[in-house]
Structure 1
């Protein structure tokens, strides 16, 4: 047993029984008995912790929990989803490399690619991931990796991920999949050719809008080590408290996913029947532009996200959010309560109107993250919002 430290002379209380709930372990530093023991830990001959920036128990518990969902052995928990993106792109790429990305990545991922990587001498290109031929044409001799989302945010388009995986393997490009939007309940990227998988655990995996965390895993242990070293060096440390909360969310993820997916399907069908709604996007609907691919990739899953477009533009958007009481108008997803996002004023506000239009995002376009409300109650709330839109047209 490790000896107690001077200011904490009593050590942990002993108990013949064990805690049912994982303890929260906020210690920043861990004491070793001898320099030899510390060497053993750093050189891999013994398991243990030294300094929380390099790893701590609550982070490892979350890492293993997400890995179990993704069907891999382990992963790395980080301070946010964007920390995971940055650890991959900046940890693995150097000046002169090229990064290829889907053109509807998460907004901050797009900013990292458009503004930050070029400052470091890393060139980038964005391409429609639903067009495999265009994707391959955009690969250069210096392309190091490709970053894609299987289901795009916020228009719910389905990447031609099987073709992209084959292309990346054939061309020697690392395929990185941000699986946040899709979740491992609908798609497991490692089973379909991905080299690296990452998540914003903040969203549906943690699921309660009170955690900020990321996760990343690489198939190749050497690549995983490079990502880990960069993350530790740049201080992408996850909070033990956030990890402790996230473990709770992981325990109920499967149940929450099924419930929210069922409600999302019903909401999408309801919205499609409304005269003030011009377009509904949901992967399992027959009118989805990538319906056949969605069936092949997601195998009947639709997920908890629905997007739709209102007649009347910004005035209708304002009327809807005002009247849809009970649905939080907030730029997030994956909470236990339904949230409503307006990309033109949040995630995609940095784009020009023309740029948003090219992606299919108008002033009347909304993205819905469906929560755990009863379907009839949620539809009733949306009905109130739609009635306000009608009254204003």
Structure 2
């Protein structure tokens, strides 16, 4: 069957076309050489890049004040592109001690298996991170706001420390997003996102993104991602771009509701504590106010009295809310770290992080704020009396 050329058009599509093609045809071997050697831009095989991924990368580059970002198949593949694409056997990496559960597993089990030594330290304590540095330390990975206790890292202090020791500072900006925080403006070398979450925003996409200030680092991460097949789906990229077009509006609405919900939860009997960075009782409130400039974002965590029994009663009574290990959806979702993201940790390790059986992380969505507060009022009451 002969190839049929696309119809010419004097107009252009308003929506980015979906480009699911796995392969792209070149006119001649010389033309293919021109592409591979950078004299012209073109596509060859979608594992090496495709139009929809480039559109998403360009949008995120613009949001983060960067260029040359790499879109990957998931948030964890973006983390892997950093740690495995830039480090080698004999290197040492420090991670924040409250990273996402799978990032912690990667640090604890997979990197050591490959000869990369790891340590964990409190990213809110520059002296603790300094004490963990070794001569072979090459990189520090932290979350601007941690998952799920919403601890705020001392990014400015860590950036200074990393510069002093020639260490790369990689910041996972998933919780904060570019609307809440811009890591490059505070000295970060690498920024990571799980696009899956608030950026795409509809729980129908799985993608990641990573970008470095240094284009040589971007090239190394891109080559690793291509070689190991961390390829994003064109369809997911197409959906993600659609979600990103409403991102600012969704972020602002969800953040305002999150602040109101946090204050409301603090008034309810049966709630032992509430964590929200803009509340004055947050342990890192002063740092959050300075670093985030009033942007508390859409995540709230709280702890019920009553342990696992109360947790079960709460989720059963939380009418209309999804109990699901995700965040950033248009609907509010509940996550219970002890049974999901941090289940691989021992009870003692979870306790050290402040993750009791009654601890919940809430990703606030776009519901009516008053209706949402009523749902939590009723569910907490059921947990307290159940």
Asked if Structure 1 and Structure 2 have the same fold, meaning a TM-score greater than 0.5 normalized by the shorter chain, the answer is: yes
Aligned-partner Cα distance in 1 for 2:111–2:286: 35
Aligned-partner Cα distance in 2 for 1:168–1:107: 24
Describe the superposition over 1:115-171 as per-residue Cα deviations: whole angstroms up to 9, x where unpaired: 000011000000011111111111110001010001010000101110000000110
Aligned-partner Cα distance in 2 for 1:349–1:224: 33
Residue of 261, 266, 269 corresponding to 2:263 = 269
Aligned-partner Cα distance in 2 for 1:151–1:390: 29
SS in 1 for 2:245: helix
Does 2:79 align with 1:85?
yes
TM-score (normalizing by structure 2): 0.99
C-alpha contact 1:66 1:250 (8 A) present in aligned 2: no
Aligned-partner Cα distance in 2 for 1:16–1:258: 38
Does 2:20 align with 1:26?
yes
Residue of 176, 190, 194 corresponding to 2:188 = 194
Comparing 192-201 with 67-76, which one deviates more in the overlay?
A: 67-76
Aligned-partner Cα distance in 2 for 1:76–1:357: 36
Aligned-partner Cα distance in 1 for 2:368–2:13: 34
C-alpha contact 2:68 2:218 (8 A) present in aligned 1: no
Aligned to 1:250: 244
C-alpha contact 2:71 2:207 (8 A) present in aligned 1: yes
Deviation of 1:390 (Å): 2.5
Aligned to 2:303: 309
Aligned to 2:378: 384
C-alpha contact 1:165 1:175 (8 A) present in aligned 2: yes
Aligned to 1:283: 277
SS in 1 for 2:176: coil
Residue of 122, 139, 163 corresponding to 2:157 = 163
Does 2:220 align with 1:229?
no
Aligned-partner Cα distance in 2 for 1:71–1:227: 19
4+ runs deviating over 4 angstroms: none
SS in 1 for 2:148: coil
SS in 1 for 2:23: coil
Judging changes above 3 Å, is the alpha-carbon distance between structure 1 residues 216 and 8 closer, same or farther for their aligned structure 2 residues? Answer: farther
SS in 1 for 2:178: coil
Does 2:59 align with 1:65?
yes
Ranges in structure 2 where 5+ consecutive residues have no aligned partner: none
Describe the superposition over 1:93-119 as per-residue Cα deviations: whole angstroms up to 9, x where unpaired: 111000000000011111111000001
Residue of 122, 146, 154 corresponding to 1:152 = 146
TM-score (normalizing by structure 1): 0.97
Ranges in structure 1 where 5+ consecutive residues have no aligned partner: 1-6
Does 2:328 align with 1:368?
no
Aligned-partner Cα distance in 2 for 1:93–1:189: 21
C-alpha contact 2:74 2:194 (8 A) present in aligned 1: yes
Describe the superposition over 1:51-71 as per-residue Cα deviations: whole angstroms up to 9, x where unpaired: 101000000000011111111
Aligned to 2:114: 120
Aligned to 2:294: 300
Deviation of 1:10 (Å): 2.2
Aligned-partner Cα distance in 2 for 1:10–1:125: 57
SS in 2 for 1:207: coil
C-alpha contact 1:196 1:217 (8 A) present in aligned 2: yes
Deviation of 1:181 (Å): 1.1
C-alpha contact 1:100 1:143 (8 A) present in aligned 2: yes
Deviation of 1:92 (Å): 0.7
Deviation of 1:11 (Å): 1.2
C-alpha contact 2:305 2:384 (8 A) present in aligned 1: no
Matches within 5 A, 1:175-190: 175-190=169-184
SS in 2 for 1:124: strand
Matches within 5 A, 1:41-60: 41-60=35-54
Number of equivalenced pairs: 386
C-alpha contact 2:96 2:121 (8 A) present in aligned 1: yes
SS in 2 for 1:184: helix
